[in-house]
Every structure is written in structure tokens, then in C-alpha cells.
Structure 1
Amino acid sequence: MSQLRVEKVQELMKQEISQIILQELKDPRIGFVTVTSVECTGDLREAKIYVSLMGNEQQIQDCWAGLNSSLGFIRREIGRRIRLRFTPELTFELDKSLDYSAHIQELLLKIKADEAAGHALRKDEE
């Protein structure tokens, strides 16, 4: 199957799944969820949905349980909205890249603060 078609379907699925989670899921456990990407197999039979979850550890666990319990509903809605011969089997994957980038940002800010403190000490010594 054409790689261009797979990429278009992936982007369309990302948009539709984001809209479904935001507007149609009524589960109170599902909080702040961001769909970061969707990866489909070449034959469009399986799709991994990468999501980023915000909140404390308990909120993330509850949200994860809510998302996994709503997989059937999301798959049915995707089948209705995107006309494909087969609706892909969906699985959620946790995307840790946003957490990692926040951690790197904190480290960079700490290094910058340490350098500023070091410059201040050198000026006091002069």
C-alpha cells in the first residue's frame, strides 16, 4: 500500500481520535489527554495511538484505565467516520516525550542558574 496513503490515514485518524476524546467521551476519569501521533501498519489493520497524559500519578492511572475501556467506542466511531475496508485494531501507547522534554528544560534552567550564581561569586571576589 502507498506510504503516502498510510500517512494521510494516520493524520486523519489522529484528528478524529482527538475530537472523539475531547467531545464525545463522557467518562469522568479521562482528563487532559493529548494525542501526539498515530502509527498504522502498512495494511492499515492495526494502529498505535500515542497519547500524552497530564496530572498526578493517580489521575494518569485513572485516565489510562478510562481510555483503555473506551477503545471499542473509539474504534466504532473511527469506522463510521473514516471509510476503510477494515477498521484498524486500536491500542494506546503512553508517549513520554513531553515529560522528557520538560525534564531537559528543567536541567537547562538549573545549569543557567548555577552559571549565573558562579558569575556573581567571581564578581564579588574581584
Structure 2
Amino acid sequence: GATLLALVLGSALGALAATSRRLADETVMRTLDVVMSFPPIALAAVLVAVFGPSVPVIIFTIAFVYAPSLARVVRANVLEQYGEDYVAAEQVVGARRGHIVTRHVAINCAAPVLVFATVMV
């Protein structure tokens, strides 16, 4: 559960940062940097202490700790894919950004993301 939630949250944030304008990219990435600056065990302990020791809180806490690292991996891969010729060709023919990301870039970013997810388990 926590790994899946971290995958969804991290992938969404990373893709958003990579495909957005500079202000949104900087805002998302600096926020994730702040979260990553705290020691994971201390951050998890604080979240569980604030919200209570229940299974959903623990799942969210684990996902919250792992999502920023995954978002950085996704952002780097999306930016790398955006430099490829097939993305430029799609942009020339008028494809929308959402179409390019979901149909082409996400598929090519899946392998590194899945490898990272196996490390999170």
C-alpha cells in the first residue's frame, strides 16, 4: 500500500515539476527538498505522533517519506525524455503536453521508476 501510494504521489509530483514552467518546477522541487532534509525516522515519528498510530497513518507516513526521492527520479527521467527527438516530433505535429507525457514519456520512464520502487519495498 505504501509503495503504491509513494509511486503515485512521487510520479505525479515529478512529472508535474518536469513539465511545468520554472516557478512551478522550483516550488515543487524545493518543497520536496525540505521534506527530504529531515531524517526519515524522525519525520515518520513526528507524523505518527501527530496523527496517531493507525495503519492508514503509517501507510501515508511511509509513502510521504519515500515520495520525494521518487519524484526526483521521475523528474530527471522526464526531462531526459523531453530532450529526445521523438518528443520534438510530437510537438511539431501539435500534440498536447498531456498526450506526449502519457503516451510516450511515461512509458520510457517506467523502467527506472519500477526499479526504484523495488528498492522501496
**TM, length-normalised to structure 2:** 0.32
When Rg is computed on C-alpha atoms for both structures, the one with the higher figure is 1
Higher relative contact order (CA 8 A, sep 6+): 2
Q: Which has the higher strand share?
A: 1
- Structure with a larger share of its residues in helix: 2
TM-score, normalisation: structure 1: 0.32
